[in-house]
Chain A
Amino acid sequence: MNAGLSPFLASVERARTQVASAAATDPEAQRVRRAALDRFVAAGLPGARDENWKYLILRALARSEWVLPSPPAAGVRAPEDLLTMAGATRFVFVDGRFDAGLSSPRATSPVTRIETLAELYARAPEQLASMVPVDDRADTRFALLNTAFALDGASVEIAGGESPLIYVVFIATGSASAQATFPRIRIRATRGASATIVEHHVADGGGSRFVNSLAEIEVDDSSRVDLCRLHALAAEARQFDTLRARVGAHSTFALHSLMVGGDVVRSDVDVALSGPAAAGQINGLMVTAGTQHHELHAELRHAVPHTTSRTHVRAVVNDSGRSICNSKVIVAAGAKGSVSEQNFRNLLLASGAEADTRPQLEINNDDVKCSHGASTGRLDPNMLFYLLSRGIDAAMARGLLTYAFVIDLLKDLPVAEVSRTVARLAAGTLPDRDLIKDFI
């Protein structure tokens, strides 16, 4: 039977066998994983008829093979580009496994609990069932795949008035080519909690990688979560990512989706505003060069009255890079007084660069305030001439203005160190980066 499978699905089946034969796994966990895997296989890989997948070369995805990671060698060193943030709890996973050596001691408090998913499920087995994405929307498939193979992950629960800064790092290492990792993070904030979480995807060394990540967030009862997701994988890595968030009463979820690395990065974001006065924010940055391909698919649902959302996405596309942003805001029939704003700006730096933006609004009642705007263009000739007229070199002027375009979004980030790092990483892929180094 395997003979007819694409290399990708054959890899799935090999991994299934490998996981099934691993002893000492909790039977309930086995059952949950198997169920998720069966649903993934039933859904299959996306095909040419899937509107949401039309930008990727799906044949390349189907042809790609991957293997589950072998346990990493002892004493993995932290990659040099990890962030240094004062007061942050660092929580590190190497190839999907928790690494105590690279992590900082976890501060315990009556209201903040930072633990691994393994610890969570051991403590509260009833949580296992919540691992599986409930609905069967088209882009659930990679969430299901993650559920089937995630070895571990991070769980953050805050239930009260603390404002921790938590740094979760997922390092993909290993010398094996096409190694797959399944990073996973779960965040629960309630009772007036406020948390800033930095999620960093990074590869240690080159080589092709398949990273299938999942983030699940619940913010409720006058809480706020700021999540900075730094997608900074090496040039040959492909990342298929899913984020699902539910925002309850008087709560805010702000997502800062920062794509600055990888060969292919696709992130499917689903935010449900399900309590009164819930707010959702998406700040997206995509910086591509060479043949890099970034996609952000965001769906923001206003389910109840008086909810607000704001989506700001900026893309810089150089060389033959490609940047895709599909953003859909849905206002339910009863969700009166909803306010939504979507704004997209693409900067194209080369004739082979391409940016596709599709803002969508689905409004099912009259009493709403929704706006959207999108622009795609090259560097502003007035700004360029102004810099040239001051004696600034043409290449440097272009680099400066490109950098300025990126900075404009980064100034809204809640953690200065993340802004600085993203600015540096983004600048590293910009043309004429050496010329503008004094400005960074």
Chain B
Amino acid sequence: MLSIQNLVVSIGDRRILKGLSLEVGAGEVHAIMGPNGSGKSTLAQVLAGRPEYTIHSGKVLYKGRDLLALPPEERARAGVFLGFQYPVEIPGVNNVYLLKAALNAVRRHRGLAELDAFEFLALVKDKMRLMQIDETFLSRAVNEGFSGGEKKRNEILQHLVLEPELAILDETDSGLDIDALKIVAHGVNATRRADRAILLVTHYQRLLEHVVPDRVHVLTDGRIVRSGDRTLALELERQGYDWLRHEGRRA
């Protein structure tokens, strides 16, 4: 599904990813963990196509295609979804309109007919129940005045509606209380399927108690320094990241 080979990325003068490689297969959930500033969010943003970053070398293949050659909107239509760490407030643009336009863009790409307003609303309301989002959401502007938890739930709502093949969830668990975390985890688990993959970018392992990953990778100083199964996350929880920092330098 996703193959990252030796990716080197900088922003401004600062080199952030320094030769990152990662393979994610269909049906798998991978967690990327690491200390602040290790490059986790950069990886997520680069995969979604954020233009501010400079790619120096390396390759990213998504379903065999060169992902980096596509503009962000085409990546989204091809099934790549980024759940933002800091979802953006867009006053004046309605949530539902955005969601409908986004879904129809994806459906057109997949050769499916656009949903009419009735079908669309039924779908969204169904997913809103799952995410415990109340109906006032329908008339509000994108993330405007949302609490931190509401923004994260909205990201997962979009995830549920758009049904991406590759979802990259950037610190979707940060800033959530335990109830909201469970709702979000429930939403993420509802999207797991054999033909889809999820990349969870997280600082803490608590999300991983609810969304159990197939693989866990530790990102330090722009490289993946350790990979393992979910027990690696538990070990990190016990020992902290310092234990692995020297490996990043040595590698």
Contact = CB atoms under 8 A, between A and B. Distances in A.
B106 A439 contact: no
Contact of B90 (A388, A391, A401, A406): A401
B147 to A, nearest CB: 18
B51 A400 contact: no
B15 to A, nearest CB: 22
A407 B92 contact: yes
Nearest to A410: B92
Contact of A386 (B81, B88, B92, B101): B88
A396 B98 CA distance: 11
Contacts of A393: 73, 105
Nearest to A404: B92
Contact of A391 (B51, B91, B97, B102): B102
A33 B52 CA distance: 63
A364 B82 CA distance: 54
B92 A392 contact: no
Contacts of A400: 93
Nearest to B97: A439
Interface in A189-240: none
B105 A401 contact: no
Contacts of B105: 390-393
A25 B92 CA distance: 53
B50 interface: yes
Interface in A409-440: 438-439
Interface string B133-144: 000000001100
Given A389-B48, A389-B82, A382 B88 contact: yes
B117 to A, nearest CB: 10
User: Which among A388, A404, A405, A408 has the greatest number of chain B C-beta atoms within 10 A?
Assistant: A388
A389 B49 contact: yes
A388 B71 contact: yes
A404 B76 CA distance: 22
Interface in A341-397: 381-383, 385-394, 396-397
B84 interface: yes
Interface string B75-95: 111000110100110111110
Size category of the A interface is 20 to 34
Contact of A390 (B52, B91, B98): B98
Contacts of B82: 389
B106 to A, nearest CB: 5
Chain A CB within 10 Å, residue with most, of B72, B76, B91, B142:
B72
A408 B92 contact: yes
B158 interface: yes
A392 B90 CA distance: 14
Contacts of B76: 388-391
A403 interface: yes
Contact of B158 (A390, A396, A407, A438): A390
A383 B77 contact: no
Contacts of B106: 391
Nearest to B52: A381
Contacts of B49: 388-389
A396 B92 CA distance: 14
For the residues of A in contact with B, the DSSP-based class is helix
A241 to B, nearest CB: 28
Contacts of B84: 386, 389
A402 to B, nearest CB: 10
Contact of B92 (A382, A388, A405, A438): A405
A401 B93 contact: yes
Interface string A41-59: 0000000000000000000
A386 B90 contact: yes
Contacts of B52: 381
Contacts of A404: 90-93, 141
A390 B102 contact: yes
Nearest to B75: A389
B162 to A, nearest CB: 8
A4 B183 CA distance: 81
B101 A396 contact: yes
A391 B80 CA distance: 9
Nearest to B91: A408
Contacts of B91: 404, 407-408
Interface in B52-80: 52, 71-73, 75-77
Contact of A383 (B51, B88, B102): B88
- Among B71, B73, B87, B91: residue with most chain A CB under 10 A: B73
Contacts of A397: 73
A11 B98 CA distance: 53
A383 B92 CA distance: 12
A386, A387, A438 interface centre (most CB from chain B within 10 Å): A386
Interface string A108-137: 000000000000000000000000000000
Nearest to A406: B92
Interface string B91-118: 1111001100110011001000000000
Contacts of B101: 390-392, 396, 438
Nearest to B80: A389
Interface in A232-253: none
23 contacts: A385-B50, A385-B51, A385-B88, A387-B98, A388-B49, A388-B72, A388-B73, A389-B48, A389-B73, A389-B76, A389-B81, A390-B162, A391-B102, A392-B73, A392-B98, A392-B101, A392-B105, A404-B141, A406-B92, A408-B91, A438-B97, A438-B101, A439-B94
Interface of B: 48-52, 71-73, 75-77, 81-82, 84, 87-88, 90-94, 97-98, 101-102, 105-106, 109, 141-142, 158, 162
Interface of A: 381-383, 385-394, 396-397, 400-401, 403-408, 438-439
3 pairs of A and B residues whose beta carbons are closest in the complex: A404-B92, A391-B76, A391-B105
